[in-house]
Structure 1
């Protein structure tokens, strides 16, 4: 009973910490959205003179809340989708009245118009939902069609974009660093765990490492989305222009991080086969895999510190060198595949450190080749 109570307390505490962490990470987003909603209402009400411009703050909130981590095009789709839905709804409901078939016709025509303007899913969805809102909650008055709501939607959307880009813009390096950490940590830990498992000839630990690496695909997608959003912020927000150099390191490295992850999964699968088949396992092969894990750890730290990843590059080349020693000492079929995958992953990590393909291949080939006879390179 006491044990169960302790476990429940630990789980509850962990959940609370996770929730507080998520709140803290999104405080700036909440502040951005609140400021945008207030500014949108202020401009539409006080500057333009609309009596109750509730579509303005709605459009501002939708733009900021839904476009987090998305492309700038996505935000524009939201803005103009809302505006199209309102415009189509206003005109048609004024002409044909309200009712079930009128609502259906309004939604259908709003979608068709949105597809004609641009077939993005966000634009189509927002056009349809805005048309429904107009047709059911706020149909146009008998005095005629008013374009106030169309203008309000544009004002709100543009205010949202302005706040996102110019006022309180998110720090691109924080966004990308936060997204890169899980992907790189999983890769580093998976390789390190594989090296330890090979040293202990523990097949179950290799299986667990492979499962973790397979689950890291979602982390890669998150990183790609974060890089896209951060690149846009760095391009649009003057106060974030100074981050573009450091951000470019992440942009250049992302493709090769993904390649290293996929090459590492092949490496771990062959490690399973090596242990199952009882093949030869020279100690340098274990050290090669461990050095790859260290290279990934250093890559994460150096990218986060906005410095050239020299330490990551050195450890990737050391991994290639240890793989060459293992090959010279003698490996069987699966061992030779692991050597090849260490070499491929080392090239990926050297390229992620900022070198071009020709130089990366030359350095890795030299690191491996100094230990392998010319007729076996």
Structure 2
């Protein structure tokens, strides 16, 4: 309820305002399509509302055009209505529309095809109502009740970062105990990350939209919200590279390779860096501590490498370096600088 409470209030306000504008201000007769359009635009996932509003207006225009054109040449009836809907959807696809545009085109075509014979001058009020509804929905989300973009992205980004930190932590414990089954369970859970990554990506789009449309949020576009939103791709890479790390951990344990004391410490520090990164993102702090923990993980991985590791152990060490580089990029460090910091923290490559 907390997650959708703001959406409910936004939708109610947009519906009431759009009816007021269409009915009281512009005196459109029975402007039911205005509040419907407002709610449809707001029902789109946050981050897609601007696109949905444009599709709504374009879809109505396409439906009106196709409906009027065919009714003029073919008249009205059941087969004419079916043909109008088919052509409205085809035209919507041709102009590059998504499902929302197709639905709006078809629905408007149905209204034109069925109501035009009994309701005069339906076309322009329908288009105007869609324009009012879409415009009011944007005004509500941008000015009257704007979302907090940092809260939006943090709500969806935290599960992805927690998932990565949790499984790296489990892997560190599995290395200490030589527990291949625990490491395999961590790998299976990390691989099942589509829901968390998708939610993180969608929230990043929502945060960008909220900070772009709302004047009160403009300052956050290049600040904490922008940094958090740009972290989606490197965090996704960190998950994939951590998956390789954990997979080689399973093989390392099963092959009874040596496990230097510093190796599980390195993986644990990587988990801690991820957890600290989530906290610093949520509080809009500069992620200095997360960077420091990540580079300490690389330093410990260097110690483990020089102490002596087997084939799979060397891969685990390499993936600690790679994942650390991903996390540094997620904090806002340029890729080239991240690679240099990792090399410096790792230390000499030669073994005693």
**Which residue number corresponds to residue 3 of structure 1?**
none
Identify the match of residue 353 of structure 1 among 327, 331, 334. Answer: 331
Taking the TM superposition and a 5 Å limit, the aligned residue runs for 1:197-216 are 197-216=174-193
**Which residue number corresponds to residue 178 of structure 1?**
155
Query: Distance in 1 between the 2:313 and 2:69 partners?
Result: 71
Give TM-score, length-normalised by structure 1: 0.87
- Structure 1 residue runs without a partner (length 5+): 1-22
Give 1:118 deviation, angstroms: 3.6
**Which residue number corresponds to residue 124 of structure 2?**
147
Give 1:47 deviation, angstroms: 1.4
Query: Distance in 1 between the 2:240 and 2:100 partners?
Result: 32
Query: Distance in 1 between the 2:119 and 2:37 partners?
Result: 25
Give TM-score, length-normalised by structure 2: 0.93
Q: Which piece of structure 1 moves more, 77-86 or 32-41?
A: 77-86
Query: Distance in 1 between the 2:125 and 2:56 partners?
Result: 18
Contact preservation (8 Å) 1:39, 1:159: yes
- Structure 2 residue runs without a partner (length 5+): none
Give 1:147 deviation, angstroms: 1.9
Structure 1 residue 344 and structure 2 residue 325: aligned? no
Structure 1 residue 166 and structure 2 residue 165: aligned? no
Query: Distance in 2 between the 1:154 and 1:92 partners?
Result: 24
Contact preservation (8 Å) 2:183, 2:246: yes
Count how many residue pairs are aligned between Structure 1 and Structure 2. Answer: 351
**Which residue number corresponds to residue 227 of structure 1?**
204
Query: Distance in 1 between the 2:131 and 2:201 partners?
Result: 29
Q: Which piece of structure 1 moves more, 237-246 or 90-99?
A: 90-99
Give 1:331 deviation, angstroms: 0.7
Query: Distance in 1 between the 2:328 and 2:274 partners?
Result: 10
Contact preservation (8 Å) 1:63, 1:79: no
Structure 1 residue 113 and structure 2 residue 91: aligned? yes
Query: Distance in 2 between the 1:169 and 1:212 partners?
Result: 36
Structure 1 residue 307 and structure 2 residue 285: aligned? yes
**Which residue number corresponds to residue 49 of structure 1?**
27
Taking the TM superposition and a 5 Å limit, the aligned residue runs for 1:214-363 are 214-244=191-221, 245-363=223-341
Query: Distance in 1 between the 2:90 and 2:38 partners?
Result: 24
Contact preservation (8 Å) 1:79, 1:158: no
Structure 1 residue 39 and structure 2 residue 32: aligned? no
Give 1:102 deviation, angstroms: 1.4
**Which residue number corresponds to residue 61 of structure 1?**
39
Structure 1 residue 192 and structure 2 residue 169: aligned? yes
